[in-house]
């Protein structure tokens, strides 16, 4: 049968765009892509990129204070939010243009429309156009979840936070994951009186416990007010003020409330289940190790599969899909030992198992040190860093590496190479230290601080 397209990609985020342009540009496949919103997806338009730029912006207030402590006659005025926001929106427009150009240059037909799957080999667009396709790739990403709370419509999510008309003077962020904690640091650094409420007993659930505590201590020292075991029960809008009732029955006033309480896959109303694609409890598309669904002609990658929801992972999944389907090289997706950076303030970099996960798996040794870095110690600042290695007693392999402090994201990328290669503690020990740096502690910790 002759199809209109060899591949039809639904979703113009990082994973979908990479798969489309590589399939078209490197294999000669006839490819189309449909995107109902903006090209670039969550990462470029509503996530990593604008968030990191906000992290950069928010860091200057603390940097000026440190400069003054070093002897500079340094002062800082108010942050011009509108100037920053306008420049940010211009940068996002530029990046979206690059994504569109990459597709065009690869020969991909792009459609600014919503796509629905009408059969194993057919799609229909919101424009009314219909196409037959040999293979369908779903890469529609995810969206923020707003809890079922009275008045929740008066809150914003991480989608809207980049486009505020003005910075709030006092803001509540609800949630305890990395998105909530990152934006708490950002808003605090921009001069907002920032409060973080989390229903659990400690934020950043799932990460290394020791690292979590160092991060929380650092957030509080920088000015974020954190309340755990507390949630929102009711939200009421009164003029420019948001009245929030907490689960203890107390009322609070804020200028803005942001829910950062999780994300869910964009899989609804696409016709997936009608054609036999299996969805999980959260709406995630069930796939095998090759990203193939229960329908052989339909594949899915990225956050819509709810495997490891990170942009570089979605790109890797897209590349593995092209290798498998269009290059005849069956390539399973490797989700093992993925380095991750969390742009809290202080920053966090992690790869491998937490101490708690490793201890449940096998006997371990823990090498860790927490201290004030040279630049902070010199001015008697309070902020501490953490360097930590979790090591298998039996194999001596480094099972996990956790770094809290400035540049943690940059450091964990390099440490991730060693951990991925199966480096042992002795391999780390054989590396000569780069002095004076924070990272030298990774290769100079000689004795474990505890064993299990």
Would you list the domain boundaries of the chain?
5-143+264-325, 152-261, 340-451
Residue 215 has what pLDDT? 98
> Do the domains 340-451 and 152-261 match in fold?
no
Q: What distance in Å separates the CA atoms of residue 203 and residue 211, rounded to the nearest whole number?
A: 11
Residue 69 has what pLDDT? 95
Per DSSP (E only), the strands in 98-184 are: 109-111, 115-119, 122-125, 130-138, 142-144, 170-174
- Residue 397 backbone dihedrals phi, psi, to 5 degrees: -70, 145
Q: What distance in Å separates the CA atoms of residue 290 and residue 295, rounded to the nearest whole number?
A: 13
Placement of tokens 């994951």 in the chain: 177
Residue 245 has what pLDDT? 97
Q: What distance in Å separates the CA atoms of residue 439 and residue 397, rounded to the nearest whole number?
A: 19
Residues known to be catalytic: 435
Q: What distance in Å separates the CA atoms of residue 398 and residue 422, rounded to the nearest whole number?
A: 7
Residue 421 has what pLDDT? 98
Q: Are 314 and 302 in contact (CB under 8 A)?
A: yes
Residue 262 has what pLDDT? 95
* DSSP 8-class letter at 163: G
Placement of tokens 């402090």 in the chain: 405
Q: What distance in Å separates the CA atoms of residue 447 and residue 430, rounded to the nearest whole number?
A: 15
User: Which ranges constitute the DSSP H helices of 28-147?
Assistant: 41, 48-69, 81-106
Q: Are 212 and 222 in contact (CB under 8 A)?
A: no
3.40.50.10490, 3.40.640.10, 3.30.390.30, 3.30.1950.10: CATH of 340-451: 3.30.390.30
294: CB partners within 8 A, 6+ apart: 276, 277, 278, 286
pTM: 0.96
Residue 1 has what pLDDT? 79
Q: What distance in Å separates the CA atoms of residue 189 and residue 430, rounded to the nearest whole number?
A: 40
Cβ of 139: how many Cβ atoms within 10 Å?
A: 32
Question: Can you spell out the DSSP letters for 98-116?
Answer: HHHHHHHHHT-EEE-S-EE
Q: What distance in Å separates the CA atoms of residue 26 and residue 250, rounded to the nearest whole number?
A: 60
- Average pLDDT, 10 consecutive residues per value, the chain (452 residues): 96 98 98 97 95 97 94 93 98 97 98 98 98 98 96 97 97 98 98 98 97 98 98 96 97 98 97 98 97 98 98 98 98 96 98 98 98 95 96 98 97 98 98 97 97 94
Q: What's the CATH class of domain 5-143+264-325?
A: alpha beta
Q: What's the CATH class of domain 152-261?
A: alpha beta
């Amino acid at each position: 049968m002759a199809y209109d397209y060899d591949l039809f990609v639904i979703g113009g985020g990082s994973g979908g765009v990479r798969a489309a342009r590589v399939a078209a540009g490197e294999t000669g496949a006839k490819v189309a892509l449909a995107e109902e919103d903006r090209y670039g997806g969550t990462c470029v338009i509503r996530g990593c990129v604008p968030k990191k730029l906000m992290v950069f912006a928010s860091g200057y207030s603390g940097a000026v204070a440190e400069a003054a402590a070093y002897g500079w006659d340094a002062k800082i005025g108010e942050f011009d939010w509108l100037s920053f926001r306008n420049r940010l929106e211009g940068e996002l427009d530029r990046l979206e243009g690059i994504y569109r150009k990459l597709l065009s240059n690869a020969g991909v037909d792009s459609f600014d429309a919503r796509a629905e799957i009408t059969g194993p080999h057919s799609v229909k667009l919101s424009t009314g156009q219909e196409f037959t396709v040999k293979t369908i790739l779903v890469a529609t990403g995810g969206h923020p979840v707003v809890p079922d709370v009275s008045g929740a419509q008066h809150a914003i999510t991480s989608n809207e936070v980049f486009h505020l008309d003005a910075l709030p003077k006092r803001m509540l962020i609800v949630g305890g994951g990395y998105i909530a904690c990152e934006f708490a640091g950002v808003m605090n650094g921009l001069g907002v009186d920032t409060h973080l409420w989390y229903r659990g007993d400690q934020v950043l659930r799932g990460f290394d416990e020791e690292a979590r505590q160092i991060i929380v201590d650092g957030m509080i020292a920088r000015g974020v007010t954190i309340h755990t075991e507390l949630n929102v029960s009711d939200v009421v809008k009164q003029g420019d003020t948001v009245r929030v009732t907490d689960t203890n029955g107390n009322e609070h006033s804020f200028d803005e409330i942001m829910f950062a309480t999780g994300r869910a896959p964009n899989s609804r109303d696409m016709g997936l289940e009608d054609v036999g694609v299996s969805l999980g409890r959260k709406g995630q598309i069930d796939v095998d190790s090759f990203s193939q669904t229960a329908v052989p002609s339909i594949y899915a990658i990225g956050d819509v599969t709810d495997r490891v929801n990170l942009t570089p992972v979605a790109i890797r999944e897209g590349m593995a899909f092209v290798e498998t389907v269009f290059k005849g090289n069956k390539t399973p997706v490797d989700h093992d030992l993925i380095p991750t950076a969390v742009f809290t303030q202080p920053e966090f970099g992690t790869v491998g198992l937490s101490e708690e996960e490793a201890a449940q798996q096998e006997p371990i040794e823990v090498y860790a040190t927490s201290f004030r870095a040279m630049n902070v110690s010199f001015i008697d600042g309070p902020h501490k860093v953490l360097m930590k290695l979790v090591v298998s007693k039996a194999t001596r392999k480094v099972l996990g590496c956790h770094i809290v402090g400035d540049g943690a994201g940059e450091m964990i990328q390099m440490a991730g190479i060693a951990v991925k290669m199966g480096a042992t503690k002795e391999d780390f020990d054989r590396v000569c230290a780069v002095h004076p740096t924070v990272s030298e502690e990774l290769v100079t910790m000689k004795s474990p601080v505890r064993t299990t």
